Structures are given as C-alpha cells and as structure tokens.
Amino acid sequence: MATLYICKTIGVVKISINSIYDIDYNKTLCFTGHRPKKLGGYDYRSEQNLKMLLKLRALICRYIEKKGVTTFVSGMALGIDIWSAQIILSLKEKKYPHIKLVCAIPCKEQYKKWSESDRDIWKNIVNRADFVHYVSEDPYTAWCMNKRNEWMVDNSNFVLSVWDGSGGGTQNCAKYALKRQRNILNLHPKTLETNFVKTIDNDNK
C-alpha cells in the first residue's frame, strides 16, 4: 500500500491508496535537471531559459505522441523540476487532458528557504497535481534528495534530463538511472542538443 497525499485547495489530506501502483510504469517519465543557477537564471523568461523550455516542451509532446507516455513525475525543486511540472499542467489543460502529474516531494517543507513567490508557485502545482508522494515526512536531511531521485527513477521507464555534464544531483540521478537501465534522453541547457545517455564520464565538467 502506497502512502500518498491527495491535494486539496484547503490543504493536504493524507490517505493510503493503491493508485500510484496502478499507473503504468511503461508509460511513465520522470524529470531531472539543474537548479536555476546552472541554467539561464531564476527568471524563466530569460532568453536562454525560454529557448530551453520550448525545446523541453517539444520533447515532452514527442514522448506523449510517439511513446504513449501518460504520467510525468517531478521532484519539485526550483529550476527544471518546477518548470517541467508547469509545462505538464499547461499541456494537460490545453492539449492532452489524459496525462497526469505526480509530485515527488523529498521532505517536509521543501520550500522552507524559498522566496514567497516561489513558495506560492510550489503550492499551486501541488494543489493541481494528480498525485503527491512524500519520500520523507521529516524536515530536510542529507539523504532525502537522493532518495527522492531514486523513487522517481524506480517508478519510471523514461528519464528526461536537462544536464550540462557537470557534477551534482542531476549527474547522480542520471547515474542511478543508468544503473537501473532506464531510457535517458538528455537536453543540454545551453546548446539545446539532445542525446541518449549510455555512459557517464566521472570527469565531465
């Protein structure tokens, strides 16, 4: 039995249901990617970010139309996680009403150190998501982000990364996905080139 959190506008109501395991693993994709400081900054409207997000949106549409992906999992961190979740909600509203968004939240009050506007965005996404899964109900710990990434990869057949080859959490997630033999498509945030990740060089910068 999976412990999930169904989001309502009045708050988050904890229940236990099987729904998360009813989702078709073969049609599920998770995102991993950089925080804003490794992208075009915190403003999604910057020239670099807009180009990257348009490319990301096109790749998501391709997965829906060509691979039959119906469920998307976001780790809900600032940057790619939040922006990809917003893309999914927009596509669900305007073009693909059958797709679902799962928010995989690493810990209690993930947004604690964020700005008020970023907190509001996080809460809006969580309230609109189809499912919300808390990897840990405790406050932030040193291990919760990696556990969140592992949970997302374990429950997804496809991984769509936005990664520049540098070390950090995105690289660690990609390494785990390779270990789990997942299909990983990477979008480079600056060159906008795409490639399927088959190996990872530990010396990548």
Report the pLDDT value the prediction gives residue 136, as an integer from 0 to 100: 87
Compute the mean pLDDT over every residue in the chain, rounded to the nearest whole number.
Answer: 88
Interval 107-116 mean pLDDT: 93
Sign of CA dihedral 191, 157, 136, 11: positive
The answer to whether residue 47 scores a pLDDT higher than 80 is: yes
Interval 38-47 mean pLDDT: 85
What are the residue boundaries of the structural domains of the chain, listed by start? 2-196
The answer to whether residue 83 scores a pLDDT higher than 50 is: yes
CATH of 2-196, one of 3.40.50.450, 3.40.50.2300, 3.30.1180.10, 3.50.50.60: 3.40.50.450
C-alpha distances in angstroms, 152 versus 15, 47, 126, 148? 20, 30, 16, 6
Q: What percent of the chain has pLDDT over 90?
A: 74
The answer to whether residue 128 scores a pLDDT higher than 80 is: yes
Please indicate, yes or no, whether the overall pTM of this predicted structure exceeds 0.85.
Answer: yes
pLDDT band at residue 176 under the 50/70/90 scheme: very high
The answer to whether residue 75 scores a pLDDT higher than 50 is: yes
